[in-house]
Amino acid sequence: MNTRRANPPSNEPHPAALPTKTVRRISDLMNHGLVGPSEVDGLERVAERFSVAITPDLVELIDPRDPADPIAKQFVPSKRELRILPEERVDPIGDDPFTPVKGITHRYPDRLLLKPVHVCPSYCRFCFRREKVGPGSEVLSREELQTALAYVKAHGEVWEVILSGGDPLILPPQKLAEIVQALAAIEHVRVLRVHTRVPVMDPSRIDAEMISALRAENVTTYVVLHTNHGKELSPKARQACARIVDAGIPMLAQTVLLKDVNDNAETLAQLFRELVVLRVKPYYLHHGDLAVGTAHFRTSIAEGQAIMRELRGRLSGIAQPTYVLDIPGGFGKVPIGPTYLGEPEEDGARKVLDPWGDEHVYPPKRSER
């Protein structure tokens, strides 16, 4: 990770005053002790290609004395992002071939993405849409939004609409409410799923007005929180989640498996347990996508499967997400967790592993008399 400023006195949690607005410039990252002076020139080249933004709430969570800080690793740029591998892609999960009109991605028959905005409060360094999001990125105009909504209305097979982007909760509540109400007015749309990091990145946005905007008659809203490490669940983030759930909106969570951030069973177990305590169901654990400049974040699939196998033996079922791979090229998500069941033998029995790695036969063989 980046070189940090020398340790401040123990009674000072941060080497510089916390920012009052989102940090976007490399020089400001240096001023807040998040990168060293020798890194500035190289990181300016990173910032020319990939957007940089870290909210005050996230900066407050970073310990600049810790080179392994999991928040810094996710949001502070690194020169390693300039290393691009041949297999990496600008559109790693294949959104573009499934974009019939601007703002819509329709890959699965019964559900689609509606992306009204390509801006986020902060920018994850591993984002699979990192070439498309950032300040100055497109926001759907009123005419484009109406065209997108008309597409949803014309496709009666669409049962669920997923608001994504960018982060839809960066929109003003009034604008968000207009979109939600328009979707709720489409008879065949029964479920609205909102994907967001705002409760972690900028929890004060989750106020009464925002929660009201998320709700509408005739449609059931789910909020899916993207969170990767227990340190992200600050007191303010926890309060934001509580406000959503207390309003009757169920929450799920999705996590990306990230090397040197959460690539061990202990870290993930702590995160998933805390989410369940917060009434947020862990939903997906994503294998890292082949986004450009993100090789230093990716684990192997075998490493991910080993972690999931360990979690199976130590973590409650309600805290278990599904480990998934989004197949490059737009071929969809598939579960890639470890296998416990062997191939059938001649008598039809199979060998099966228990959560602790011991082998058994199913169905059990009858005892000889």
The residues assigned a catalytic role are 107-108, 111, 120, 124, 127, 129, 289, 326, 333
Q: Which residue has the tokens 């929660």?
A: 211
| H or E stretch covering 146 | helix 142-154
Q: d(Cα 318, Cα 283) in Å, to the nearest integer?
A: 10
Query: Residue 18: what residue type?
Result: L
The H or E element containing residue 264 is none
Q: 3-class DSSP state for residue 112?
A: strand
Query: Is 248 in a helix, a strand, or coil?
Result: coil
What is the bridge-based pairing of β-strands 350-353 and 104-108? unpaired
How far apart, in whole angstroms, are the C-alpha atoms of residue 260 and residue 240? 27
Residue 230: DSSP 8-state: G
Q: Are 139 and 119 in contact (CB under 8 A)?
A: yes
DSSP of 183-227: HHTSTT--EEEEEE-HHHH-GGG-SHHHHHHH--TT-EEEEEEE-
